[in-house]
Structure 1
């Protein structure tokens, strides 16, 4: 459930610069409150992401690839198969490793208690330029030069101020996973571009795969012959344990492992934006280590 801070809820306003001919957002002008929320996505465990995007908002509920199936499997699994109900609860509501820092964001996606001392990751006020594919840059002379090189800004451009509400924060998360033109798709086209996949009919064969030397996890697969595609597998508790543990891994940890090339919507660009920020200039001084914690959020 989306929670606002203990202060009186407020809207976050951003200004979109729009190419009217192409009906496309060139970039957005935003303050640090908005970028704080974007960066908080990197701290969300995959199980939390799956649960959040399955909820109604302005955009339709959606699935998070196989993670949604994994989350539903964990939810539907009888508690008797877990060591305790607490273990099942930790998979369905995995702890956010950055919860102590995220609780006082204007809108906090995680359903966590409210703390009293933190007001976001970034210095306030700081102005940012956010591209359509979610590359966020501090608004300065270098960014102005980058904009002149990359955008056609003329009299056909329109400036449009929009309020980002609680529902649209959840929309931002949904769109960031699937869209590479997030601001355009969310605020102008209002359409979530989710790819569809189908499993073709074919003959089946059974294969058995074993792990490398050392610890082994056996997996027996049912495979489509043409094209070769796994239909399902039979596995023991060790392999299933490994799968379920994925629900606790934060998005930022996946980006860290892939060096910002995970290939998930606009999340790569969001991670690259974080890497470019100056921790001494852009982050709250009392939390100088926040950048490193966001770049590689550990499993809580």
Structure 2
């Protein structure tokens, strides 16, 4: 959500005759919002876009978690973790002028049993104390800070005070004085269009044009279900290997399509676990997002512009929030060490 209704100024260079955005010019505030997309867990993206993200079948995965009863999960908290996963970069994202993720990382539960032998806390609703089994009392604690780096900046990912150029398909580069355009317009960006921009970045190569001219949100003419060529990878390290997962697909008589599949807990854990993985980690693992989106252009441009040095790793290899990892970690996404969660009592 936006902070106190704040907006970010963006200059658009337009071809009004063709109704197309040629490029945008902005300072670090706008690019910080774009880069923050990479830190969002997939489940958060689906939720923010009203389960209409257009990102393959992730919407249906999210709906499946919603519809399953608590009896199908190990604990009530497990379901809550999948539907509202935390962002391991919440500390940085929370300081942006525009925040599109409404998750409150400072709201934590602390064991309500004063006789509990050990201090226990959780950022997930409906969790119980691991020491005594007592329910936890949830409240907002301003002293709670999630951080995966020794952060010393004043908010955001990109160095402040610089001008940047953003193309329609979200390539980002330092502004050049040699770029001259005859058409110029301005608009203000706040939380709602920022969320719409996220959706367009996932499914279109003309994210800015679609946002500014309010074009219909339809995927480009590329198969959304097409997998990258390097989708199936061999683990580089022996410790990353995991046991094969077996499923039994039920096909039509002509084998043209799969009706459904019978699978065990391990396969369902793998699928549901995707909801807690940050978008940037998906791009890191496979080198791209869907070929008809442009969100991966943001990822590729990270090395080419000025950053607060401590934040670069948050964007290149975003981590899972503490305790949001799954036993089946096919993408080898690291979990934020709980030592980086600071609590002042």
Which TM bucket (shorter chain)? 0.7 to 0.9
Q: Structure 1: which 4+ aligned runs deviate by more than 6 Å?
A: 114-117, 195-198
SS at match of 1:158: coil
Contact 1:54 1:63 in 2 (8 A): no
Number of residues of Structure 1 aligned to a counterpart in Structure 2: 259
Residue 41 (structure 2) pairs with residue 45 (structure 1): yes
Residue 137 (structure 2) pairs with residue 112 (structure 1): no
Once the two structures are TM-superposed, the CA of residue 32 in structure 1 deviates from its matched residue by 0.7
| Long gaps (5+) in structure 1 | 56-60, 148-152, 199-212
Once the two structures are TM-superposed, the CA of residue 140 in structure 1 deviates from its matched residue by 3.7
Paired with 1:197 and 1:283, the residues of 2 have a C-alpha distance of: 33
Partner of 1:246: 274
Cα 1:195–1:100, aligned 2, differ >3 Å: closer, same or farther?
Answer: same
Partner of 1:163: 188
Cα 1:294–1:266, aligned 2, differ >3 Å: closer, same or farther?
Answer: same
SS at match of 2:301: helix
Residue 250 (structure 2) pairs with residue 222 (structure 1): yes
Paired with 1:21 and 1:191, the residues of 2 have a C-alpha distance of: 18
| Long gaps (5+) in structure 2 | 107-141, 144-152, 224-240, 322-345
Paired with 1:254 and 1:197, the residues of 2 have a C-alpha distance of: 19
Residue 278 (structure 2) pairs with residue 257 (structure 1): no
Residue 147 (structure 2) pairs with residue 122 (structure 1): no
Render the CA deviation track for 1:29-69: whole Å, top value 9, x for unaligned: 111100000000000111111111117xxxxx544321111
Paired with 2:7 and 2:191, the residues of 1 have a C-alpha distance of: 8
Give TM-score scaled by structure 2 length: 0.69
Paired with 2:91 and 2:242, the residues of 1 have a C-alpha distance of: 38
Partner of 2:199: 174
Cα 1:197–1:125, aligned 2, differ >3 Å: closer, same or farther?
Answer: closer
Once the two structures are TM-superposed, the CA of residue 75 in structure 1 deviates from its matched residue by 1.1
2:9 to 13, 18, 31: 13
Once the two structures are TM-superposed, the CA of residue 239 in structure 1 deviates from its matched residue by 1.0
Paired with 1:118 and 1:260, the residues of 2 have a C-alpha distance of: 30
Deviates more, 1:122-131 or 1:31-40: 122-131
Render the CA deviation track for 1:117-153: whole Å, top value 9, x for unaligned: 8421122222111001000111146xx4xx5xxxxx6
Residue 31 (structure 2) pairs with residue 35 (structure 1): yes
Question: CA-atom RMSD, angstroms?
Answer: 2.6
Partner of 2:213: 188
Contact 2:222 2:292 in 1 (8 A): no
Render the CA deviation track for 1:139-190: whole Å, top value 9, x for unaligned: 146xx4xx5xxxxx66xx4211011122101111111111101111110243
Partner of 1:294: 315
Residue 258 (structure 2) pairs with residue 237 (structure 1): no
Paired with 1:21 and 1:237, the residues of 2 have a C-alpha distance of: 55
Paired with 2:261 and 2:96, the residues of 1 have a C-alpha distance of: 42
Cα 1:11–1:216, aligned 2, differ >3 Å: closer, same or farther?
Answer: closer
Once the two structures are TM-superposed, the CA of residue 214 in structure 1 deviates from its matched residue by 7.2
Partner of 1:79: 70
Cα 1:167–1:261, aligned 2, differ >3 Å: closer, same or farther?
Answer: closer
